[in-house]
Amino acid sequence: MYRKEIKVLDCTVRDGGLINNHNFDLKFVREVYKAVSAAGVDYIELGYKNSKELFSPKEYGPWKFCDDEEINKVVEGIESSTKISVMADVGRVKLDDVKPASESPVDMIRVACYTKDIDKAIYMVNNFNEKGYETTINIMAISKDLGHNLDEALHQVEGESKADVIYILDSFGSLYQENIKELAKRYKKIVKTKEIGFHGHNHQQLAFSNTIEAIINNVNYVDATVYGIGRAAGNCPLELLLGFLKNPKFDIRPILDLISKELVPLREKMEWGYIIPYAISGMLNEHPKLAMALRNSKDKENYREFYDKILNAEL
């Protein structure tokens, strides 16, 4: 598949950071940035732009806050045309903390929200847009909210926001390719003047195929992470996506190197990937937090009981 409009965003450090409270050390983050840049990936997302008044820097690592000074340490001395992205959750960022884009290493801010917060998300996005950033709106957990609220949010995004991209998110890894096809058409029908993006989760081993399905249906912004790292089952593996995309600007080799040297050893210390409680969360369309709690308990391999509890809403 080659379409020059396709943009790949690597969110290894951001989504992977959800496993370790955003505590990756500077060396690791620089290695990821170096490899992703050499691979020709369009964007890299490093973490969240959270207020230190809401979250303690003692409890969370630097990528929970993404101070410009920390990002400058990542990019220093590395040749790159990869743009820098950070994520902002509705209600967790002080807008005054965000400097104009011309004074910041950040190129893009992605605002994550639920449909109920769409007004707040649009307010934030328009503020960031005025400051010179590229922006996206990422509506989460839509697999639980596929009715009128979603259409209304999409109409507002189209009519009121200055966002460049609106993302389809499969937050629980519960969507199948037919759902992705329908959603891509639905988003495009309402949000006519913006690009559509897709961010998958791999609970049912469908993040890559759903990303392909999104691309087939004219989605141009797609997220992936190296070796599929990310919360719970993780995300679409970047190496598979680059193997699929035929755009000659991409080179898979630096990513293969990074996996050998950094991700395989890291996987020994941090858990993500195909793990049955996450698969169960996906097939039952539930948030993975209960499965994550199970994995930290003595019942971590007790799959059948977990399935019955989720099914009977006993958790």
Q: Give 127 or 205: the residue with its C-beta nearer to a copy of itself.
A: 205
The answer to whether 72 and 103 have CB atoms below 8 angstroms apart is no
User: Which of residues 27, 269, 298, 304 is near a copy of itself by CB under 8 A?
Assistant: 304
Separation of alpha carbons 278 and 283, rounded Å: 9
- Residues 276-295, interacting with a copy of itself (CB under 8 A): 276, 279-280, 283
Q: Give 11 or 139: the residue with its C-beta nearer to a copy of itself.
A: 11
Is 115 a binder of a copy of itself (CB under 8 A)? Answer: no
- Three-state secondary structure along 108-138? EEEEEECHHHHHHHHHHHHHHHHCCCEEEEE
Q: Give 164 or 262: the residue with its C-beta nearer to a copy of itself.
A: 262
φ and ψ of 197, to 5 deg? -120, 165
Instruction: State the minimum distance, in angstroms, from the CB of residue 308 to a copy of itself.
Output: 7
Distant-in-sequence, close-in-space partners of 178: CB < 8 Å, separation ≥ 6: none
User: Coil, strand, or helix at residue 97?
Assistant: helix
Residue 96: burial class (beta carbons within 10 Å; 0-12, 13-18, 19+):
exposed
The answer to whether 119 and 156 have CB atoms below 8 angstroms apart is yes
Instruction: State the minimum distance, in angstroms, from the CB of residue 240 to a copy of itself.
Output: 5
Window contacting a copy of itself (CB under 8 A); options: 7-15, 121-129, 164-172, 275-283 = 275-283
Separation of alpha carbons 62 and 48, rounded Å: 9
User: For a copy of itself, how many residues bind (rule: CB under 8 A)?
Assistant: 40
Q: Give 142 or 280: the residue with its C-beta nearer to a copy of itself.
A: 280
Instruction: State the minimum distance, in angstroms, from the CB of residue 276 to a copy of itself.
Output: 6
- Residues 152-171, interacting with a copy of itself (CB under 8 A): none
- Residues 251-270, interacting with a copy of itself (CB under 8 A): 252-253, 256-257, 259-260, 264
User: Which of residues 65, 133, 167, 208 is near a copy of itself by CB under 8 A?
Assistant: 208
Is 4 a binder of a copy of itself (CB under 8 A)? Answer: no
Structure tokens at 216: 């087939």
Is 204 a binder of a copy of itself (CB under 8 A)? Answer: yes
Structure tokens at 291: 């499965």
Residue 72: burial class (beta carbons within 10 Å; 0-12, 13-18, 19+):
exposed
The answer to whether 66 and 46 have CB atoms below 8 angstroms apart is yes
User: Which of residues 12, 82, 161, 202 is near a copy of itself by CB under 8 A?
Assistant: 202
| Residues of this chain that bind a copy of itself (CB under 8 A) | 176-178, 202, 204-210, 212-213, 216, 227-228, 237, 239-240, 243-244, 252-253, 256-257, 259-260, 264, 273-274, 276, 279-280, 283, 301-304, 307-308
